[in-house]
């Protein structure tokens, strides 16, 4: 989608610190990390948020979770948090589906 930051990152049009890439998924370190390890996993295709997951892209969403498990394992993460903000009130600032993966510090529950 034109003018989408994460579409441009997935296409390599805007630089990022890549941690993983395949045909359909891209993962990169967050520019403003909220934990010692903080990376984002995105689909290369534009989906606005979790609210845009449908039967036709559910396999892609499942693959994103598979990528999280794979990359976390490769990074040696034994405990981590997976977060996806949906909509303004939940704190979504980039309207392209992404899972945050945060690790390396104690975390509180419930989240703020
Ligand atoms: P959210 O606020 O849940 O939509 O998450 C968007 C995330 O994207 C935030 O954690 C930002 O720090 C991160 N972010 C924004 N621009 C970039 C960028 N150019 N490279 C890497 N991460 C980014
Ligand atoms: Zn996009």
Q: How far apart are CA 43 and CA 25, in angstroms?
A: 5
Q: How far is the CA of 102 from the centre of ligand 1 (A)?
A: 13
70-92 confidence digits (pLDDT tens): 999 999 999 999 999 999 999 99
All residues at 6 or more sequence positions from 65 whose CB lies less than 8 Å from its CB, including other chains: 82, 99
- Residue 28: which of 19, 36, 107 has the closest Cα? 19
pLDDT at 112: 87
Q: Residue 52 Cα, ligand 2 centroid: separation in angstroms?
A: 12
What are the pLDDT digits (tens) for 33-73? Answer: 999 999 999 999 999 999 999 999 999 999 999 999 999 99
Ligand 1 pocket test, pick from 6, 19, 93, 97 with the greatest ligand atom count within 8 Å of Cβ, gives 93
- What is the spatial distance between Cα 45 and Cα 103, in angstroms, rounded to a whole number? 26
User: Is the pTM for the entire model greater than 0.75?
Assistant: yes
Dihedral of the CA atoms 101, 107, 110, 111 (nearest 10)? -50
Concerning whether 98 is annotated as a catalytic residue, the answer is yes
Helix residue ranges per DSSP H, the chain: 5-10, 58-74
């Amino acid at each position: 989608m034109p003018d989408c930051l994460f579409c441009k990152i997935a296409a390599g049009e805007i630089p990022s610190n890549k941690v993983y890439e395949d045909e359909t998924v891209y993962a990169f370190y967050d520019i403003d990390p909220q934990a010692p390890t903080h990376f984002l996993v995105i689909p290369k295709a534009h989906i606005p948020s979790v609210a845009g997951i449908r039967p036709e892209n559910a396999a892609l969403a499942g693959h994103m979770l598979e990528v999280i498990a794979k990359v976390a394992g490769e990074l040696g993460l034994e405990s981590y948090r997976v977060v996806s903000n949906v909509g303004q009130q939940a704190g979504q600032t980039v309207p392209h589906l992404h899972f945050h993966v945060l690790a390396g510090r104690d975390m509180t529950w419930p989240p703020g």
